[in-house]
Amino acid sequence: MFRVLLLVLFGLMNFTAIAESNMDTQPKDAILLTVFLKHDQSKNIGEIKSILNEQGFFENFPPEGVAVVSWYVMMGIGQVVTLEVPAHKLREVNLAIEASAWKAFSTEFYPTYNLYPVIKNKLKNRSKVAY
């Protein structure tokens, strides 16, 4: 029983150390935020680009001090943007979307975290593509 307790304790300490080492690469008050920019399929790409340009989307998003972690197209859905957001900038991200992306996209927001550093050593195939 004592050995089992030691193994559990060691496992928890190891898991915590891995998670904490990953958090050290991100500012303490920052969160990851995934934003779905869902396509309005009643508009073609030219109409969407025109709306974005008219509303100043590319000048206003993301706001100053917010970093883009990734920006992908999810075919049939829209664009998926993951941002690193200092906590005090969350309101600015929301306002930038409301002011410059609405009409072109409907939006959804999801707090996000990177689980890969925690589970990568458990995976049989540890390769990771870096785009």
According to the model, what pLDDT value does residue 15 have? Answer: 42
Domain boundaries, the chain: 30-113
Sign of torsion over alpha carbons 94, 96, 99, 104: negative
pLDDT tens readout for residues 65-85: 999 999 999 999 999 999 999
> pLDDT at position 130, please?
67
CATH architecture for the domain at 30-113: 2-Layer Sandwich (3.30)
Contact 78, 37 (CB under 8 A): yes
Hey, is 76 helix, strand or coil?
coil
Q: Is the Cα torsion angle 88, 89, 92, 98 positive or negative in sign?
A: negative
Render pLDDT for 99-108 as a digit per residue (tens, 0 to 9): 999 999 999 9
The DSSP output letter for 103 is T
List, in sequence order, every residue forming a beta bridge with 36; answer none if it has no partner: 80, 108
Average pLDDT, the chain: 83
- pLDDT greater at residue 118 or residue 99: 99
Q: What is the pTM of this model?
A: 0.72
Work out the number of other CB atoms within 10 angstroms of the CB of residue 121: 9
Q: Where are the alpha helices (DSSP H) in 24-128?
A: 45-54, 57-60, 90-100, 116-119
Q: What is the Cα Rg of the chain in Å? A: 20
